Structure 1
């Protein structure tokens, strides 16, 4: 039996209104856009729990929507009912959780607030695609059965799993995850710099025939043309001072990688345990979160600075490379100083190790004042 026209229209209305809401919310969840919910939430619940519960509901609702869309008879009234529940319950709950993270960033940290914002936005964007597919099927413009299921359902599930994972990770676990990613990015940059330093020299067998000195097109400008062709792939053999600077940079960046590993072991992996039994709104927790946020902000900067440093080398700009290296080291030193003492304010193994590390990475850089210093 074909669905009634009124039911089909009701489904189309439900999808359209939900799509409009998703688009508006996703726009507000861009990093540079403030949350649309400006009224403070009194006695807010744990936002990570709200995100987890909402994500589980979204998974359940989207599963129902998918099954109803691909199975016969097609029942628009049943699908519309699920979509209305999705729009009325899950979307506002997720937006409220994001607002709580922002409103209580002193408790949940800036890193959690940004991560919640990004992960919820992804859920909304994937749900848009799913509902557009359902709408196409409802209007007779799509064939869900030919794909066995709506292709976007699994992607929505993945985005929801990321929110569930965020609740499981907590602040300490997310800090560890992020720091490991940033450390690995620096490791990759070091490998690329090493390959560039040891790269193919234009005088070797890899020399491009187009750069033959007898070619009239390059005669008289051979040196500059070689720089243009080979600088991005290898260090010119005649740039001895630049080679020394690259080697020094690689050596220092390896020590920066060691700092990440030390902070992961001695500070980030011990954060959650240090907060056990402490009320989420206490000044003690807020002070620890502030320290963690400050350190993570520095640890996040370093990979970008390393990328800029590598660009200076590839441009064969020695002076800019020196400045870039100094920025990398200074930022790392600042993060290390922020984490100088443990979460109870006492000195420990890392405190002593940091002094030796500082002397090895750059004994002449002046330390900046930081919490815990």
Structure 2
């Protein structure tokens, strides 16, 4: 027979864990401010994505066990309490720590701002879905608590209703789906994410250029995106995450910093092209010309940033980009 004290403990623990989830989600919320020195991590995490991967896999397993405990009568508070404790102290803590990790200079594990932002968003989503599981636990525990208070504790314990079972299974399925998305993100890595994002940016850029077919320079910018994807983004060294944040020879930014800067420029260019289109529609020729020059300057800065390979050597893209710059200046 389920003890009232155990049920009360389960209710209290579930509420405490819900408050913890709210705190975690708040800590991972997007911030418009740049990362300050106080936000960097004292403890090094050499491979944040690997920690997130293992934490997510473990959370998925624990959630499966929890769902079975919830739908299989009788309700066993002690087992559920133990499982919630395992989740809070293990995978939840691990993935939030890894998602929040910003290395200090000289530390390893810099996944870059682009990946860090995406990881935070997906971990927040997973925390939200796991919060729905806690809602079900609390609902069923409070139902049991009310039944005991009404003197039903001595009668045969009824299991969950079919509706409750479906709610538990549905909430579990949402957690699984969120886990799978996060696991795929870790498997694809930084390269997979940035290639996907730049392909999306290129599609937006080409749509904007379609309205300005007569501007030869803009067509060339579309070609540049494709070249950057093939020769720079797909060749980004995933192992750089495992290297200290300070550049080895101390003469320039790390690959991670270069990638963040490149992505920032590539995100800005389609917006500038939209401004060019707006100037043409307004029949403001001077504004259109100035904005086009600004756009060309942005593309040149993107090229200059990664003119050499990630290891600092001239390669095929180096020669191609030099010819490209000459061609766009002559267009």
Distance between the aligned counterparts of 1:151 and 1:282, measured in 2?
46
Partner of residue 3, structure 2: 4
User: In 1, are the aligned partners of 2:262 and 2:305 still within 8 Å (CA)?
Assistant: yes
Alignment of 1:157-306 (within 5 A): 157-190=176-209, 193=211, 246-249=212-215, 251-272=216-237, 279-280=243-244, 283-284=247-248, 287-306=254-273
Q: Deviations over 1:271-313 (max 9, x none)?
A: 227859x844562396222222221221122344445555x36
Using CA pairs under 8 Å that are at least 6 residues apart, name the structure with larger relative contact order, 1 or 2: 2
Q: Deviations over 1:211-266 (max 9, x none)?
A: xxxxxxxxxxxxxxxxxxxxxxxxxxxxxxxxxxx3345x5443322212111111
Work out whether residues 69 and 75 of structure 2, in 8 Å CA contact, stay in contact via their aligned partners in 1. Answer: yes
Q: Distance in 2 between matches of 1:105 and 1:248?
A: 48
Give the whole-Å Cα distance in 1 for the aligned partners of 2:213 and 2:233. 30
- Superimposed CA distance per residue, residues 60-101 of structure 1 (whole angstroms, 9 cap, x where no aligned partner): 111112222223223233222211211121222122212324
Instruction: Give the 3 Å change call, closer, same or farther, for CA 45–317 of structure 1 in structure 2.
Output: same
Contact 1:171 1:272 survives alignment (8 Å): no
Q: Specify the SS of the correspondent of 2:42.
A: coil
Change (3 A) 1:20 1:108: same
The residue that corresponds to 1:47 in the other structure is: 48
Superposition deviation, residue 20 in structure 1: 0.5
1:133 aligns with 2:136: yes
- Counterpart contact for 1:252–1:361, Cα < 8 Å: yes
Which residue of the partner structure matches residue 57 of structure 2? 56
Q: 1:114 aligns with which of 110, 113, 117?
A: 117
Pick closer, same or farther for the CA change 1:111–1:75 going to 2, 3 Å. Answer: same
Distance 1:258 1:67 in 2: 54
5 Å-filtered alignment, 1:11-22, equals 11-22=10-21
Matched residues, number: 305
Q: Per the alignment, do residues 274 and 66 of structure 1 end up closer, same or farther by CA in structure 2, a change over 3 Å counting? A: closer
What's 1:333 paired with? 300
- Which consecutive unaligned segments of at least 5 residues does structure 1 have? 194-245, 365-373
Contact 1:54 1:90 in 2 (8 A): yes
TM-score by length of 2: 0.78
1:130-158: CA deviation from partner (whole Å, max 9, x where unpaired): 22133223334995546274322222222
1:106–1:289 Cα contact (<8 Å) kept: no
Partner of 2:89: 88
Mapped pair 1:353 → 2:320 = yes
**Structure 2 CA distance, aligned partners of 1:102 and 1:186?**
34
The question of whether the paired residues in 1 share the 8 Å contact of 2:48 and 2:109 is answered with no
Q: Give the distance between the partners of 2:290 and 2:282, measured in 1 at CA.
A: 10
Distance in 2, matches of 1:308 and 1:13, equals 55
2:149 alignment partner in structure 1: none
**Which 5+ residue runs of structure 2 have no aligned equivalent?**
145-159
SS at match of 1:271: coil
Instruction: Quickly say closer, same or farther: Cα 1:39–1:107, change in 2 above 3 A.
Output: closer
Give 1:125 shift: 1.7
Q: CA RMSD in A?
A: 3.3
Please report how far the alpha carbon of residue 16 of structure 1 lies from its aligned counterpart in structure 2 after TM superposition: 0.8
